[in-house]
Amino acid sequence: MKPSRLLLALLGTLLAAAILLGALPLLGVKLSANLQTLGWAVLFALTLIAAVDALWLRRLPTPRVQRTLPGNLPLGRWSDVQLNVQHNFAHSLQIELFDHVPDGMTFEHMPLRVDLHPGQQTQLHYRLKPQQRGHFTFNRCELLLPSPLRLWQGRRLLDVAGESRVFPDFARLYGAQLKAVDDWLSQLGVRQRPRRGLGLEFHQLREFRDGDTLRQIDWKATARKRTPIAREYQDERDQQIVFLLDCGRRMRSQDDELSHFDHALNACLLLSYVALRQGDAVGLATFAGNHQRYLAPVKGQAQLNTLLGAVYDLQTSQQPADFSAAAEQLLARQRRRALVVLVTNLRDEDDQDLLAAVKRLSRQHRVLIASLREEVLDRLRQEPVEQFDQALAYCGTLDYLNARAGLHERLAAHGVPVLDARPGELGPELVSSYLAWKKAGAL
């Protein structure tokens, strides 16, 4: 309980009056003896009224609060939280309400000021934006309840339990189901290259059309129907994709609100959504983390929910990336040939260890290395050089980028493709590479 502004104003007025009455005799102004008595009487009356008002406040019932919280929240996006307030007061009352938000989340429109009216239930809203993934627990709400005479404010803590899970930014993935896949991919900036040749898997028989080749003609069906019948093929299905995700310290870099690791998760989920729609199986393996996880490749849209449930609380660690150990573990688990997408942030010191691990994986699987490039590198390379410090930063940036490019060239010389992309562009670039390989029958 704390004094209100009204009580503080009254006490300040009495104090100013007492100082004035004490200073006037020093200036030779004679005052009546009754003024001092009157001052003490006013102070005693205010104290008595304040005490009665405080006792009255303590006996007031506490309003009831219910929180309506989404069970799943997208990372980095604003979501609405609803608070329902009920009370048994016989008169209108204005209160302040503050919801205790867990660490790792930002909020807007709090504290909330609301007028409670008799016999009515009040609904309040505020906005919430998670900055971290994981499982979050809401424990309490805090109320500031004014006393009947407005001399005090009572602080009431209410146990309002709630919990929510913060997932990677999957809103755009589910929103894509309302559109055709091709249109949606083009809106994301995915580049689909022209098809080379035919698919590898038989789809159906149909009448011969202009543009079909003689190789597509099914001669037995043509003889039966006495009209040219062509075979129609589609991209090969039932393939497997396994994401080998680096959870080590190099993925903790952050250029904007999201870390490189969060951008990598979003990119993996984006490619998973496209691959599952194409009929392929998707799995996941992590390394260099405190708790390594593995999901075997499975087909079907339900696998996307399984992936979300497996990675929503996944965090990076301070451990370095051990590519050789990660390759051995994946080879022991994944026997069937698959496209292994190694998502990391390459450094020039990765040369020997990375090359040996990739060679080991390439004997059994098709390997694609997706490396995230820091936004600051492109910015420093494009800034004008006018001072000595800027020249040092520019030369250091070029030296670092040249070392990375040299590593990429050595990997490419051994037949290992490297996709070097900025964090925000990694998802569309991965999908473009996947679709290009699939249409070319290279998976």
Structural domains of the chain, count: 3
Compute the distance between CA of residue 160 and CA of residue 102 in angstroms, rounded to an integer: 13
Q: Is-cis flag, bond preceding 111, omega within 30? A: yes
Q: What is the pTM of this model?
A: 0.71
Compute the distance between CA of residue 378 and CA of residue 160 in angstroms, rounded to an integer: 47
DSSP assignment of 229-286: EEEEEE---S-EEEEEEE-SGGGG-BSSSSBHHHHHHHHHHHHHHHHHHTT-EEEEEE
Bigger pLDDT: 16 vs 349: 16
Q: Is residue 162 part of a domain?
A: yes
pLDDT band, very low/low/confident/very high, at 87 (cuts 50, 70, 90): confident
Domain that holds residue 30: 2-58
Q: Which of 58, 83, 102 is at the close of a domain?
A: 58
Q: Distance of CA 223 to CAs 104, 208, 210, 227, 412, Å?
A: 70, 13, 19, 7, 50
Same-domain pairing of 420 and 298? yes
> pLDDT tens, 97-119?
999 999 989 999 888 888 888 87
The chain-wide mean pLDDT, for the chain, equals 82
> pLDDT tens, 235-292?
555 689 999 999 988 888 877 778 889 889 988 998 998 888 888 999 999 998 777 8
Same-domain pairing of 276 and 395? yes
Same-domain pairing of 300 and 435? yes
Q: Quick check: helix, strand or coil at residue 396?
A: helix
CATH number at residue 160: 2.60.40.10
Longest dimension (CA), the chain: 130
Contact 109, 127 (CB under 8 A): yes
Residue 83: predicted pLDDT? 92
Q: Which of 14, 36, 58 is at the close of a domain?
A: 58
Residue 178: predicted pLDDT? 40
Sign of CA dihedral 273, 275, 278, 281: negative
Provide the token pair at 260: 């490189």
Same-domain pairing of 275 and 423? yes
Same-domain pairing of 50 and 90? no
Q: Distance of CA 280 to CAs 237, 283, 305, 335, 361, Å?
A: 6, 10, 15, 16, 20
CATH number at residue 285: 3.40.50.410
Same-domain pairing of 71 and 16? no
Provide the token pair at 167: 């997932």
Residues 201, 239, 303: CA angle, nearest 5 degrees: 125
Same-domain pairing of 306 and 320? yes
Q: Indicate if the pLDDT at residue 196 is higher than 50.
A: no
